[in-house]
């Protein structure tokens, strides 16, 4: 039986040296498998967050493009209507009827050959005012569908014609 004695290498119990004394000079401990798995998980979460942020940014940019295109289409139609004489405006409105067009982003009439992701519907509603004032209230609704759902944009204004 061995005695427990102290020494340069520390106490010895049953013939084993103190575990703290086993470290050799210049020896570096390695990375354990659990540490590697934890670091890979943290890195993966960071990458997934970056990918999600990129996807959200792309969807927001597409939505912004569609709102800009809808604004352009509505303003172009309003300017066209403002250029009409009052009699032409009333004749086009047919007493408040609604006209519907399918348009692409450039305002060109669209048929079945258009890209379905770039089709806007335009509805123009007329609400004629008093003939003595020669005014007409116009509501232009631009609608579209995208991967976020159905959207619509309402543009409203009054047209007053000074021509007789």
pLDDT per residue as tens digits for the range 7-24: 555 555 555 555 555 556
Per-residue model confidence (pLDDT) at position 88 = 77
Per-residue model confidence (pLDDT) at position 136 = 78
Per-residue model confidence (pLDDT) at position 14 = 55
d(CA 133, CA 79): 20
User: pLDDT tens across 103-142, in order?
Assistant: 776 666 776 666 655 677 777 777 766 666 777 788 888 8
H or E element that contains 102: strand 98-103
What Å distances lie between residue 124 and 2, 14, 25, 149, CA to CA? Answer: 103, 97, 85, 22
Predicted TM-score (pTM) of the model is: 0.61
| Strands lying side by side in the sheet with 149-160 | 98-103, 120-128, 135-146, 149-160
User: pLDDT tens across 46-103, in order?
Assistant: 999 999 999 889 988 888 888 888 888 888 888 888 887 777 777 776 655 566 677 7
DSSP 114: S
Per-residue model confidence (pLDDT) at position 111 = 67
Contact 161, 85 (CB under 8 A): yes
Domain locations along the chain: 69-160
Contact 66, 151 (CB under 8 A): yes
Residues making up the chain, counted from first to last: 164
Average pLDDT of the residues in 23-50: 84
d(CA 101, CA 124): 9
């Amino acid at each position: 039986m061995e005695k427990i004695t102290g020494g340069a290498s520390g106490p010895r119990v049953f013939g084993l040296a103190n575990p703290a004394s086993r470290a050799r000079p210049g020896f570096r401990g390695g990375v354990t498998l659990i540490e590697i798995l934890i670091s890979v998980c943290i890195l993966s979460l960071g990458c997934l967050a970056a990918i999600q942020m990129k996807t959200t940014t792309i969807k927001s940019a597409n939505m912004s493009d569609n709102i800009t295109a809808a604004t352009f289409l509505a303003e172009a139609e309003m300017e066209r209507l403002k250029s009409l004489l009052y009699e032409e405006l009333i004749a086009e409105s047919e007493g408040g009827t609604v006209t519907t067009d399918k348009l692409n982003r450039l305002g060109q009439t669209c048929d079945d050959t258009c890209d379905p992701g770039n089709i806007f519907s335009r509805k123009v509603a007329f609400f004629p005012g008093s003939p003595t004032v020669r005014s007409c209230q116009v509501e232009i609704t631009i609608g579209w569908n995208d991967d976020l759902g159905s959207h619509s944009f309402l543009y409203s204004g009054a047209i007053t014609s000074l021509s007789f």
